[in-house]
Structure 1
Amino acid sequence: MTPTEAPPHRLALRGDLLDFTATPEWGAVHSPAVRWRPDHWLLVEDGRITGAQPADAPLPGEGWERHDHRGRLVLPGFIDTHVHSPQLDVIGSYGTELLDWLNTYTFPAESRYAQAAESEAGAARFVQALLAHGTTTAVVFPTVHKISAELLMAEAHRRGMRLITGKVLMDRNAPDNLRDDVVQAERDCVELIERWHGRGRLAYAVTVRFAPTSTPEQLAMAGALCAAYPGLYMQTHVAENREEVAWVQQLFPEARSYLDVYLRAGLMNERSVLAHGIWLDAEDRAVLRDTGAQVAHSPSSNLFLGSGLFDWRATEEAGGQVSLASDVGGGTSLSMMRTVLDAYKIQALQGQRLTGWKALHAATLGAAQALRLDHEIGSFEPGRLADVCVWDWAADPVAERRMAVVQSLHEQLFAWFTLADDRNLAAAYVQGVPQFSRTPPVG
């Protein structure tokens, strides 16, 4: 080390380490894909994971800052692949299906984000809420306003978070104060891409609200942006609600299906994130396979709005990728545990049993792989950035008793998913930097 070099910041986190080395098999409660290392130190240097070792082994070298979370579950930070930052204002709104819900609740809330002060306060509130629920990476819809995307990215950059977002595109079938036009929207997107895409851990997503709110000209512009800037993501909604699917058929009679609208516009690629995907058919699933696009399964929202039951297994067996998403505010919580529990219920209603391993993988390593980010996040492999969350196994006497009588690791994890929520989060680290702490660790 030269006199001008600072020594590396070394952080050691003690707890029960759980992550994945491969994809768990469907229905298997005993899976070789699970890596379980109880009472270990997770070693982090300058924000990157360098390894792990048993707690009773001496730490390598000197200068380690120790955070002792013994007896707690240590996981990679959750990855939420579809969520709306301005919709915290409408979470838990009563009584409508998708299209009425948008007009009654969502659009009025989003119109407030035309104001910079509202966008700034909303971005700070949203990012903090993500971290307080154990989510360290998210794919986010802001609003149609350029300022809402700008300030959201600025807040995530300040925290060092991996965030994927972009200005929403809507040039028809929306209120006057939420519509853009093709020329101005393209100009706004280009300015945002050139300023923010690839800056720190930010990535830009060409963000089509959904097919009914974009003209064919705007969809073509969106496809051209995806082609012009390598590494961009594309996010949108598809086949969420039967009434919506019928509307798309009327608006785009030349398209074979709802998904085909996006394929024709050049919007389907390996970085396409498609929320919902409930009402897709076999040909649509083949398109997912062939393009590498993923479905961001949003079970809490699908149940709350009565949209339908997503067939996870059929999508995967056709070669499609599935990740998990809260879809707040259609979803009712930013908690990925609540999301997992609702995903289990949806599969159970179709005669399938979603294991805790399959669900946890879809919210960590599986989501990272679908986003082409598994070299950076999603596991505790050496070299990955230390986006890490620490959880209490139990937060009340009922959960404590349940944990006392479990017979296997999968039973323990599944009971945790079922009973836990944000109260269980003890700490969240982004690149090894504490960003949330409910109870300070033992130093």
Structure 2
Amino acid sequence: MNHKNSKSRKKQHLFNLRAEAAKVLFQILEEGKSARECLPAAQENLKDQDKAWLQEMVYGVLRNLPILQFWLRQLLDKPLKNRFKIVEHVIMLGFYQLAFSRVSQHAAVSETVAACQSLNTMAMKGLVNAILRTFLREDIANQSPPNEQIASGLPKWLFKKLQSEYQTALPDIVQNMQLKAPIWLRVNTLQISVEKYQKALQAENIELQTSDQHSSGILLTKGCDVTSLPGFQEGWFSVQDGAAQLAATYLQPQAGEHILDCCAAPGGKTCHILELQPQLNSLYALEVDKIRAKRIEENLVRLQHKAKIIIGDASDTSSWWDNQQFDRILLDAPCSATGIIRRHPDVKWLRKAADINVLVELQKQILDAIWLTLKPGGTLLYATCSILPEENHQQISHFLSSTHDAQLDESFHHGSVNKPGRQILPGEQQMDGFYYARLLKSAAK
């Protein structure tokens, strides 16, 4: 028994939250894993307070990576290699705490140095301590960033793209990308009215706002554990950003229609379509990834909805389509996810410049293939969570010019003639960045 207690105490002594944060950062930045993949695993056995701290530190480093790397290059003589590479992430974590967080300087330095023991890099403790103390002594955190790109928190390729497309709006875009995204809820009005759910939240002293654009949307003004909110298990609400909530509204589903939600996982928009129009003839939710398709099923079950889930490739309709054309199609196309960086800051480091052309070609293939499954007189709503022109208005302009029976719904012409569709920028009315274009198929003659 004493031996077990001794081992347990040693394990607790070696555990260090900074070390866990450094491991997650290493997985994201060196191994290309997403935060959705590795952060929950690191948080699994932690207390709620530690879970929140870990996410705040990891996301904070990801949001400010260019300036942290700049500081690192100033103070580290040469890059660390092999098993010591993770120590670079430990140092940047220390920089972030000292420059941007409320952690005391003493705790930031001592606990960050102690992380080396948990990571089996004891030989680096002196180096980490010296670098962090130099950082403080020379007041490096208060030195101005060397250029706009480093100050923006964005990778060079993305900063240049946004600078080219959004000259005047760029400062606002950059600022909003750095902010924490608010929590948006969508009330499941088939289970409870918006008014009753607002009262249920207010009874728990949860502060909220409403939006004129979102008939069933509620915006929470403070962060919280959404699974602890009233009615989570009962399916009273979903977590869905305000921009994503516009998809079902813009689709305008009508009673008796046969509808396709294309690239549907995790199923938020599928469920919203059913809530907005419970009298559909049928709703197909198409998803190529079997694992992600399980999320659609989970959401349908929790919210007490029914749809037909199809595992299939949207660009290869022959493998799943039964030749029954759809009245309406929501195409939430695979994209760069540059509009949701404030919510998922790992996106800007996982996505590379070379990915954009590949995504644009895939979007084109899906658009061309799925258009054939739409009835004459039908409606296709094209959506992305991107703010890049190649994936949005340029993609739709190309499709309209090359598809004889396609036209833009003029009532939905939010942009200029050369920029069809509606581009929502990050932070606009507290929403994520999103793009929508509603396309109409000519009626058969």
Fold similarity call, TM over 0.5: no
Answer 1 or 2: which has greater helix percent: 2
Answer 1 or 2: which has greater strand percent: 1
User: Computing the radius of gyration over CA atoms, which structure comes out larger, 1 or 2?
Assistant: 2
Greater relative contact order (Cα < 8 A, sep 6+):
1
Q: Normalised by the size of structure 2, how large is the TM-score? A: 0.26
